[in-house]
Amino acid sequence: MKNKNIKELLLIAEELDKRSLFSESDIIYKLAADIIDFEERASALRGKEDSNEPVEQGELAEVIEFPRKQNSELRDYLGDYTEEEIDGALEFIESSLSPESKVYHMGDDADQLIDFAHNDSQELRDYMLEVIPDKLVDLSVDTGEADMGEVLRLVKDVAESLPKYEDDDDFKYIIDAMSFYMSDYIF
């Protein structure tokens, strides 16, 4: 990707920051960083090819295929979902259900979701019943799945298949709270 395109991404992210859309801007910043990292790795490998340095067979292909390989075990485990659905669910989980996810309320500064992940938390309940349904609808539109029960199942299945679900008690608590609060929710 040309530097001009990366600069445009960064300008978009800055504009989102100005509009207090921090989680959206974080996604754009991460995308730009991933693109830059990918280009640097690919460029280094191309440099090896051009300079006649030995390049392990498949090393360049590994860089190109990295996004697919990164979650290959997850994709095998979740075989009944498309790549687009899994990618959408992973992005949703990272931006909305991760303990580090930013939560905005009534014009205050952003808190992290982890701050609300405790028993009898009214803030967590409100977040799960007021914010998550809207984000699930957005995910439904992005994935083309009209059945909200299926969208919820997708997110739950992907989240529970992540190593983080077993290793991080806070993440597990948040996912289980979403499942609990959304079990009777009517979209």
Rounded-to-10 torsion of CA 27, 144, 79, 175: 50
Query: 12: closest CA among 27, 90, 95?
Result: 27
Residue 58 main-chain phi, psi, to 5 deg: 90, -5
pLDDT of residue 120: 80
Give the tens place of pLDDT for each residue, 68-111.
334 445 555 566 788 888 889 999 999 999 999 888 766 667 78
Strand, helix or coil for residue 46: helix
**Is 30 or 100 the better-scoring residue by pLDDT?**
100
pLDDT of residue 45: 67
Query: 35: closest CA among 10, 63, 64, 6?
Result: 6
Q: What percent of the chain has pLDDT over 70?
A: 76
Cα 29 versus chain centre, distance: 13
User: Residue 149 pLDDT > 70, yes or no?
Assistant: yes
Please check whether residue 162 is in contact with residue 92, taking contact to mean a CB–CB distance below 8 angstroms: no
Give the tens place of pLDDT for each residue, 41-61.
776 666 655 555 554 444 433
Give the domain ranges of the chain. 1-69, 71-187
Please check whether residue 150 is in contact with residue 140, taking contact to mean a CB–CB distance below 8 angstroms: no
